[in-house]
């Protein structure tokens, strides 16, 4: 397979880390405009370096020399010449800054959090983007713009420990619940977990005796393994599911909302009533 060089313009550090690992494992070279522009010395602290990343020769030097940004890099002909494909995750405003005479393929990657307005935008720009979906449930969104491919989020089994469950505590990871209490079904979470020892890691959550700051990546792995059960909070318009997936990889028993309480208006019941957009 020809070594395609991908310009990756992401929107979420946790997903960026996973995507760089997966694309590199598949044989692609990747330059990311986010926290892993240098995968060996990442700016982001949410995940570790990626020594296995396949880098694009010259991209980091040009990025630093010209002080490029996700918005300005797609307007630099010299920078775009380094790549075969432009991959934009979720942020349609980036696509709108790409020059009209661009000849590079542009992939617009959804993250399951689309909406009717975003679907309309994708339909209007269908002639200049390829749409890669995250979930088949996105087809339930009014005005669905179609898809050229469906590629799920992914994890590597070897990155995760085995569940032991020796800590009799309900574990959750979530952030910024203070400004999106309803979106996270936070009131229900507090009621459902109140009878049990519980701990919630993440910045921006309501202060309480069970709230903790964001956990490091290494600590997250230990907590998944040690705690008795994982409670997955949802977000509107759809659960992002990365922690959901990580909990499944470890094997910790997993609790999530059923269809009647699910936060996405576009979700249909799947897997015996467990409701999730992914």
Q: Would you place residue 278 in the very low, low, confident or very high pLDDT band (cuts 50, 70, 90)?
A: very low
- Which residues, other chains included, contact 34 with Cβ-Cβ below 8 Å and sequence gap of 6+? 8, 9, 10, 13, 16, 44, 70
Q: How many CB atoms lie within 10 A of CB 247?
A: 26
pLDDT at 71: 95
What are the CA-CA distances from residue 213 to residues 78, 148, 202, 221 (Å)? 42, 40, 5, 15
pLDDT higher than 90, residue 236:
no
pLDDT, one tens digit per residue, over 63-104 is: 999 999 999 999 999 999 999 999 999 999 999 999 989 999
d(CA 22, CA 50): 11
pLDDT, one tens digit per residue, over 50-66 is: 999 999 999 999 999 99
pLDDT, one tens digit per residue, over 148-179 is: 999 988 999 889 999 999 999 999 999 888 88
Q: Would you place residue 125 in the very low, low, confident or very high pLDDT band (cuts 50, 70, 90)?
A: very high
pLDDT at 270: 38
Domain ranges of the chain: 5-150, 157-261
pLDDT, one tens digit per residue, over 237-265 is: 555 678 889 999 999 999 987 655 555 55
Yes or no: say if 60 and 36 are a contact pair by the CB < 8 Å rule.
no
pLDDT at 268: 47
d(CA 248, CA 93): 34
The CATH T-level fold of domain 5-150 is: Rossmann fold (3.40.50)
State the pTM of this model.
Answer: 0.88
Query: Hey, is 169 helix, strand or coil?
Result: strand
pLDDT at 46: 81
Same fold, 5-150 and 157-261: yes
Between 116 and 113, name the one with better pLDDT.
Answer: 116
Q: Mean pLDDT for the chain? A: 88
What are the CA-CA distances from residue 157 to residues 16, 99, 162, 232, 245 (Å)? 18, 40, 10, 20, 11
The CATH architecture one would assign to domain 157-261 is 3-Layer(aba) Sandwich (3.40)
| Residue 125, burial from CB neighbour count under 10 angstroms (0-12, 13-18, 19+) | middle
Helix ranges, 66-196 (H): 70-73, 77-80, 92-97, 116-124, 186-193
| % pLDDT > 90, the chain | 70
């Amino acid at each position: 397979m020809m070594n395609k060089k991908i310009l990756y313009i992401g929107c979420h550090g946790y997903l960026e880390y996973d995507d760089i690992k997966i694309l590199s494992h598949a044989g692609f070279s990747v330059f990311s405009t986010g926290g892993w522009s240098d995968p060996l010395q990442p700016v982001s602290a949410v995940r570790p370096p990626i020594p296995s990343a396949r880098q694009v020769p010259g991209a980091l030097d040009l990025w630093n020399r010209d002080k490029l940004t996700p918005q300005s890099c797609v307007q630099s002909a010299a920078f775009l010449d380094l790549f075969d494909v432009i991959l934009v995750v979720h942020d349609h405003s980036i696509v709108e800054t790409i020059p009209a005479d661009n000849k590079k393929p542009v992939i617009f990657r959804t993250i399951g959090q689309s909406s009717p307005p975003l679907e309309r935008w994708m339909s209007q720009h269908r002639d200049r983007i390829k749409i890669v979906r995250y979930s088949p449930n996105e087809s339930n969104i009014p005005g669905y713009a179609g898809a050229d491919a469906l590629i799920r989020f992914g994890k590597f089994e070897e990155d995760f420990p085995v569940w032991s469950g020796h800590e009799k505590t309900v574990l959750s990871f979530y952030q910024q619940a203070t400004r999106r209490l309803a979106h996270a079904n936070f009131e229900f979470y507090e009621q459902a977990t109140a009878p049990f020892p519980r701990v919630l890691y993440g910045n921006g959550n309501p202060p309480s005796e069970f709230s903790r700051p964001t956990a490091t990546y290494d600590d997250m792995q230990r907590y998944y393994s040690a705690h008795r059960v994982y409670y997955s909070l949802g977000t509107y318009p759809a659960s992002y599911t990365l922690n959901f997936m990580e909990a499944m990889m470890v094997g910790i028993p997993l609790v999530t909302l059923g269809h009647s309480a699910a936060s996405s208006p576009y979700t249909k019941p799947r897997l015996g009533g467990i409701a999730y957009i992914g």
